[in-house]
Structure 1
Amino acid sequence: MILWKRKAFLYTGFTVFAVIFVMNKLTLSLHNYSTGPVQVLILTYMRSGSSLTGDILQHKPGSFYVFEPLRSFCPSNCSSVILKNLVYANGTERRTPISFNEESYSILRNWFSCKITQLPANGLLDVFLERGTKTKMFYPCYLKATLKTMDHSIAMEKCAGKLAEICEESSVRIIKTIRAQFKFVKHLLDVLPNLKIIHLVRDPRATLFSQSHFHMCLVANGGRQRCTNNLCGRLEKDVLEVDSVDISHPGRVMTIKYEDLAQRPIETSQIMYDFIGVPMSPKTKRFIYYKTMAGIDNDCSICSTRRNSSAHIAFWKRQIDREFLDIINSRCDYILKRFQYDKFPK
């Protein structure tokens, strides 16, 4: 009798455990969650507030943040770039030409998967890696190992391996890029079940005004009209891709307006943290306040720290000339309406 009761108790306990296990699995499935690290791709455009967005997200303890890993392969106008003679951190080489778009998919996937030794070596030597609190260890490691071994190939593979270990231990992995097109990176959602994409947009008039000050709209490069066509043409394509992905992969992509982040930094940051499923600590909230509302002046041309981030978002309205404004208002009409940007001038 006692033996029968013990068996019944064990059977009941096992049944309850099995039900809980199945329910948890079902809940994870329904919410598109799975075990493993959180992976976040910030996809945006030059001068659209991505540096600030990346800094806010990488403030989460345990974050592994990669700042512009595609820059060394394509400084600008990436759509038609063909890459040749790539040498990877593990010493292998690729002689066959490959398009930038194809290689960018592999690079982003390997970063998210911590396969650092399978990344092109020149990308690991990019100075922009110093913008990540964990990736900045690579170059000092590489320099020290090269001086010790007198062999840059050995140093490259050794330090890539160390960075891979750091990446593997990180619970949150974030990549920020202004050089990837949505139609190519969307396929990462199929192979990385934990991946979330934040599509960061900004008023194209503000973005283009800022770009023009970085000499991106010079007459020699096609002038303001071509500059405007490039930005708003890409924005239009990306928006259509986002609409499609919202249907095929619901809950995996979120569009954030930089203006919302600048005007309501803590509230908008909370929305982003909730989206990626990571709690935002009081310490992070203080950091955001410091970065956006009580920050210090700086002379970093690519940084986004501002004494008052909400004050600078309308700066372009006081400075942009009417000819440039008319070009943007005409060409970017769909984007302006899509994101409900105020008509200017009224």
Structure 2
Amino acid sequence: MIMRGNTILLSLTIVNVLLFTYIFRSVKQEELDTLRNKFNLIDEYSNTDLSDKTDPLKELNEDDLDGSQAVKVKPIVSPAQQGEVKENLPLDQPTLATTGPTPIILHTYMRSGSSFVGDLLKAGAETFYTYEPVHALQFTIRRLAPIRYLDSPSKTFNNFLDVAVPTVRDMVTCQFSRLPFPYFEDGFFSYSTKASVFTSCNDRQRTITDTKRAYRCATELSKECSKYSSFVAKIIRMPLYSFEELMEKIPNLKIIHLLRDPRPTMLSQMKAGNVKQKYLRSNVTTYCNRVYDDVVKAEDFNRKFPDRLMRVYYEDIVKRPFELTRKMYNFAGMSFTDKVSDKISKLTGQTENRKSSDDTASAWRLSVDMDFIRTVDTSCGQLYTKVGFLDMTTEADIRDTAKSLRGPPPPFDDFRLA
């Protein structure tokens, strides 16, 4: 009996030991699984978006870790902090460097007298000038062709402004080595100040066949550009709103907004073959709507960026070239020198003390068809109301060149157009 009782007691003891061991291992395994899951969460978290997430590190405490081991957790870093976000990086900065020349954009439209006004603005010896810098880019985008760069791989764009805005940004800040191939290969590039610095360096070739050499040549052009006090870019292919981000990022950027009466503008476009008679009303409506939008945006710029946008009219410049050129130079912070005065005289036949008539600028009024005038006037009513252009209701009105085509704009917009 004693022996049987001892056997039973021993058996119970063994069972208890086995049961205790099983329970202990189960609890330990559960703790280990919990800890492993939490660390797996950290690895998963480090590869996901950081926004609107609870930080798993806050859920961990010292009781989760074995005090005999030192656990090192890799800091969580966002893709931007890792330097993976590189597209348009300079525009993400608060401001861009302003140590180079003061950038001035002559913003206007095709056949608006922009070449003439551009010649006035580039007359100063301290001004670096570039002519239609995004012209070739527009046609490259239309062909859906990739844009090649001197300092980065080729890129394909679906939207013209996606490439035009960064190009203007880098150009007006003299960063020529960052510009795309079409800028240098366009025939308009030859009208830019010191374009010969690049073309001579590039073996006098307009096309770029050696990227490394072209990059070196662009760097030399950047050095030349930085020697000037002002940078003027004549641009007709971009809406005014596309410059808003540049106005924010480049604190000394200024815009001269050049307007011209839509009637001679469209007439000139027709003679140049850009507008067909059968599409006249559609083209005129599109054009005047674009100018109207730019005028409205200019008013917004004047509120956001005081003293950084100036509106001028081609007709006023033709009549009073010295007065208006002085105003543009004062606005842009450029020096009006004897050389500038001589250039005005050469372009206009006028001097400070002797003025010529503006018959050349008004000659179109003597032969223009009245049906054309009515088409433009009826298509551009909203713009006329905004800036003060006047309807020419009779042939006598349009033929009388002494009669102004523009009056003061109303003190408020026509409520019917709101």
Task: List runs of 5+ in structure 1 lacking aligned partners.
Answer: 1-33, 296-306
1:186 equivalent to 2:268? Answer: no
1:111 equivalent in structure 2: 171
Q: Distance in 2 between matches of 1:49 and 1:335?
A: 19
Output the amino acid matched with 2:176.
Answer: I
Structure 1 pair 97–262 and aligned structure 2 pair: CA distance change class (3 A): same
Q: Distance in 2 between matches of 1:281 and 1:251?
A: 23
Q: Residues 71-112 of structure 1, C-alpha deviation per residue, up to 9 Å, x if partnerless?
A: 102259x9xx5854110123x223343411121110100001
Matches of residues 1-346 of structure 1 in structure 2 within 5 Å? 36-74=100-138, 84-90=145-151, 92-144=152-204, 151-218=209-276, 223-293=279-349, 310-344=358-392, 345=394, 346=397
SS of residue paired to 2:106: strand
Q: Distance in 2 between matches of 1:146 and 1:50?
A: 25
Output the amino acid matched with 2:363.
Answer: F
Output the amino acid matched with 1:330.
Answer: T
1:30 equivalent in structure 2: none
Q: Distance in 2 between matches of 1:227 and 1:145?
A: 38
Output the amino acid matched with 1:64.
Answer: F
1:24 equivalent in structure 2: none
Task: Verify the 8 A CA contact 2:100 2:173 in the aligned structure 1.
Answer: no
Q: Distance in 2 between matches of 1:183 and 1:37?
A: 23
Structure 1 pair 155–144 and aligned structure 2 pair: CA distance change class (3 A): farther
Task: Verify the 8 A CA contact 1:206 1:313 in the aligned structure 2.
Answer: no
Select the structure of larger CA radius of gyration.
Answer: 2
Task: Verify the 8 A CA contact 1:121 1:156 in the aligned structure 2.
Answer: no
Structure 1 pair 267–226 and aligned structure 2 pair: CA distance change class (3 A): same
Q: Residues 143-180 of structure 1, C-alpha deviation per residue, up to 9 Å, x if partnerless?
A: 34899xx9522332121111111111221111001101
Q: Distance in 2 between matches of 1:287 and 1:146?
A: 29
2:405 equivalent in structure 1: none
TM-score (norm 2): 0.65
Task: List runs of 5+ in structure 2 lacking aligned partners.
Answer: 1-97, 398-418
Q: Between the two structures, name the one with larger relative contact order (CA 8 Å, sep ≥ 6).
A: 1
Output the amino acid matched with 2:132.
Answer: E
Task: Verify the 8 A CA contact 1:82 1:98 in the aligned structure 2.
Answer: no
* Fraction of identical pairs, as percent: 28
TM-score (norm 1): 0.78
SS of residue paired to 1:88: coil
SS of residue paired to 1:143: coil
SS of residue paired to 2:358: helix
